[in-house]
Amino acid sequence: MNTKTVKSIIDTTKEYYYVDNGDPMRGGMKDVYFSPDKSYVVAIYRDKQDANSIDRLKNIVTKYFDSFFKREGGNYYKELYSWPTDVIQENDKIGIIVPCYSKNFFFKKGYQDNDLLKGKEKDGKWFSSAKFRTGKSRLKLDKSELGNWLSYFQVCVNISRGVKRMHSAGLAHSDLSYKNVLIDPVSKKAAIIDIDGLVVPGLYPPDVIGTADFIAPEVFSTKHLPVNDPKRKLPNRLTDLHALAVLIYMYLLYRHPLRGGNYFGALDSDEEEDLLMGSKALFIEHPTDASNRNFKREYGDNEKKFYPWTDLKTTPYLITGPYLKKLFDQAFIKGLHNPKERPPAVMWEEALIKTNDLKLKCSNNSCDQQWFIYNNTKVTKCPFCGTTYKNSIPVLDFFYQFKPNIWKPENMRLVVYNNTTLHAWHVSRDVIRNEKLTSDDKLRVGYFAYHNTKWLLINERLPYLKDVTNNKIVNKGESIELIDGNKILLSNEKSGRVVTVTITN
């Protein structure tokens, strides 16, 4: 076992060390070696890099690194990206230095009945398919690795923020996939990796066209054309948005949105794949074209077991709630073959956060998923285990002040269960729930409790809370009962909101 030394080409006074045991980890383009203390890796490109590629790498570890991390919110993004920190050279080969991932992104247990995955990276594919939850026991992930359904909403928020930040800087990842996004449902974190292939339009072209399940239809259907053909579509910001939508769909529903039952009778499997994912791509849950709605292609006999509520005529993606349903429609119907119509990352972030406010805890303590999204029906049931929700459900609809004494609906609601929390972003339109939230803004300002057959809102930090219906001020430390039809003013500031109360069941 050899310890070798390499030098930076950015700052020639810097040296790095790696352990060469003769059997490096092999990525798509690089051989990867650990440092002696395993705090970073040295990833060396197998092929010679041209001047443009080297220039891109230099900018990634200097100019782009500084713009992402040496500013407000930089610490948040350091956890979200596995970002190269330096460029090195060994003989005639170029490489990069990348900090090692957090321990969260390695399996502690792995499979339920064996240790074959223990210690390996948490490649997102393990969490995006039903077969690792309902398949044969030797392929089932241990429950300790899976988290619950709510975990994946926060994971997807983090991924959306990572894509949003890259796009705001004029960059595209070009190969977003479950191979290049590590996730940990237990800590609810994500890490976007393989940053060294970032695309800058007109400056740094993509090195790859992507990973099969995540390549946008326009890239698939034109990949036979020469790279310099103006009709050839290469990875860019809009293809990232297709991949992002696929990732979110798969993490929440454990299936691919385009891999249904369509078969076109092509001469070979590659041509068939090009049609299914390219020019003939069709959302498996398309509302008016059911030709691709054959879930058994993906799930086989496990389909009914994992989706007990569907008879193949319904649309399971409805269980993700109204905000995400709208974006899935936009991504996989309107935007599937019209890239400019695809929802930007910030819309996914906002929809995921708003959907989080619609969650309910399943009444069945043994339910694998534990949480589900309130669906506004007369009888509320958990879609995963079929258990009827046993409590009444207060629903708060938010309104904002459009003009003095004129209030308009916010298209935002909060579904209440025992110990639901109220935060500053619920109270004021001036507080945006994103990665820039201050520690004070993250504190709860109140909470809801079910006490003596009554639903109560307890005011902890709100300087002004008023029961509008009964014209009563509710001071800090006091509570207000949630009564069907009542209105509550959460703040007397211009940006403050009013909620109306509806109690169902």
pLDDT value of position 47? 93
Instruction: Note whether 353 and 205 are same-domain residues.
Output: yes
The CATH number given to whatever domain includes residue 164 is: 1.10.510.10
Instruction: Note whether 402 and 339 are same-domain residues.
Output: no
Instruction: Note whether 180 and 295 are same-domain residues.
Output: yes
The set of residues, in sequence order, having a beta carbon less than 8 Å from that of 64 and lying 6+ positions away, is 169, 171, 198
Instruction: Note whether 239 and 340 are same-domain residues.
Output: yes
pLDDT value of position 135? 63
Which domain range does residue 90 map to?
Answer: 2-100
Residue 309 predicted with pLDDT over 70: no
Q: What angle do CA 349, 241, 149 make, to 5 degrees?
A: 45
pLDDT value of position 256? 92
Instruction: Note whether 228 and 165 are same-domain residues.
Output: yes
**Cα-based distances in Å from 259 to 280, 296, 373, 443:** 11, 10, 25, 43
Instruction: Note whether 266 and 195 are same-domain residues.
Output: yes
Instruction: Note whether 77 and 172 are same-domain residues.
Output: no
The CATH number given to whatever domain includes residue 59 is: 3.30.200.20
Instruction: Note whether 256 and 302 are same-domain residues.
Output: yes
In a domain, 118, yes or no: no
Question: Final residue of a domain: which of 69, 100, 131?
Answer: 100
Question: Rg of the chain over CA atoms, in angstroms?
Answer: 25
Q: What angle do CA 51, 53, 57 make, to 5 degrees?
A: 115
CB 236 within 8 A of CB 201: yes
Q: What is the pLDDT of residues 187-239, one digit of tens each?
A: 999 999 999 999 998 899 998 899 999 999 999 999 999 988 999 999 999 99
In a domain, 130, yes or no: no
Q: What is the pLDDT of residues 95-107, one digit of tens each?
A: 999 999 899 999 9
Instruction: Note whether 269 and 348 are same-domain residues.
Output: yes
Nearest to 258 by CA among 267, 249, 266: 249
In a domain, 225, yes or no: yes
Q: What is the pTM of this model?
A: 0.94
The CATH number given to whatever domain includes residue 409 is: 2.60.200.20
Label residue 341 by pLDDT band (50, 70, 90): very high
In a domain, 307, yes or no: yes
Domain count, the chain: 3
Instruction: Note whether 70 and 153 are same-domain residues.
Output: no
In a domain, 376, yes or no: no
Instruction: Note whether 453 and 342 are same-domain residues.
Output: no
CB 49 within 8 A of CB 201: no
Instruction: Note whether 302 and 158 are same-domain residues.
Output: yes
In a domain, 151, yes or no: yes
In a domain, 383, yes or no: no
In a domain, 169, yes or no: yes
